[in-house]
Amino acid sequence: MPGDSLGRISLNFVRASGEIFLLAGRAFLRIFQRPLNLKLISSHLYLDGIKSMPVIFLMSVFTGGVLTLQSFYALQRLGAEIFTGSLVGVSLTKELIPVLAGLMLAGRVSASYSAEIGTMVVTEQVDALFTFGIDPVKYLVTPRVVALLIMAPLLTLFGDFVGILGGKLVAVLVVHQNPNLFESQLFQSLELWDIVSGVIKSVFFGLTVAVVGSHFGLKTEGGARGVGRATTTAVVVASVIILVSDFFWSKVLPFSLR
């Protein structure tokens, strides 16, 4: 029956949401429990943060360039092309870079977490951790959460800088706008809060990527096919949460502190 199917889907959604929320709480609380595995944290800082910089760089520079190109010609119709720098700076830092960086991490990192942990589950390595008295959440999830809580904001700031630089290059080299005009409008309109609000979003997005990937990895069952299914689900769920929560963050966070 369609009603039964819808009810089952709703029940599964509520159950999964609760489990993800509880896992996030457990992983966060274990940050303050000694010992803290600094070796694993530093490994994830490099693998999931530093090695994500090339894709963040490409995403940011081309996003800034496309936004500048489209904004210039759209504003030119109104005779307001001088405000291109203002639009590009605020749009990138408050909205585009945090969200797109979160989606890039969801595709790259959340999939990796789900596949790694899922493989450990189906090969009974997680059961071995229980046997040796090691908390899987403390050992597997917490280092990943800490790494992304640190790296997601840093990657967002890196993306902000690269995106604005890419936008300026397009403004100067493609649409031939005076670089001083672009910069003056950028710094006149861009506030520190615009950057901070984007960083606040990125912290939540990083937590989402780490917890969702780890959750579906721990829930893996069914061998290699189950690992693939968990990986796909983790990417989709993390991406949807990022897109939906971005609206609510934009609604809750004030537009300006002035």
Q: What is the dihedral of CA 130, 135, 136, 140, to 10 degrees?
A: -140
Neighbours of 48 (CB within 10 A): 25
- Rounded to an integer, the average pLDDT of 45-60 is 93
What is the model's pLDDT at position 10? 67
Please list, in sequence order, all residues whose beta carbon lies within 8 angstroms of the beta carbon of residue 102, skipping any fewer than 6 positions away: 152, 201, 202, 205, 206, 208, 209, 242
What phi and psi, each to the nearest 5 degrees, are found at residue 234?
-60, -45
Maximal CA-CA distance, the chain = 70
Question: In this predicted model, what pLDDT tens digit does every residue of 97-110 receive, in sequence order?
Answer: 999 999 999 999 99
Range from 122-131, 206-215, 235-244 carrying the lowest mean pLDDT = 122-131
Give the CA angle between residues 37, 22, 203 to the nearest 5°. 65
What is the model's pLDDT at position 5? 65
pLDDT band at 80 (very low <50, low <70, confident <90, very high): confident
The token duo for 113 is 């977490």
Considering only CA atoms, which of 148, 123, 101, 151 is closest in space to residue 217? 123
Residue 2 clears pLDDT 60, i.e. is over it:
no
Question: In this predicted model, what pLDDT tens digit does every residue of 135-170 receive, in sequence order?
Answer: 888 888 999 999 999 999 999 999 999 999 999 999
Average pLDDT, the chain: 88
Using a cut of 0.85, tell me whether the model's pTM lies above it: yes
Considering only CA atoms, which of 104, 55, 72, 53 is closest in space to residue 168? 72
Please list, in sequence order, all residues whose beta carbon lies within 8 angstroms of the beta carbon of residue 2, skipping any fewer than 6 positions away: none
What is the model's pLDDT at position 16? 76
pLDDT band at 9 (very low <50, low <70, confident <90, very high): low
How far apart (Å, rounded) are the C-alpha atoms in residues 23 and 207?
A: 11
Domain extent listing, the chain: 37-248
Range from 8-17, 99-108, 218-227 carrying the lowest mean pLDDT = 8-17
Residue 7 clears pLDDT 70, i.e. is over it:
no
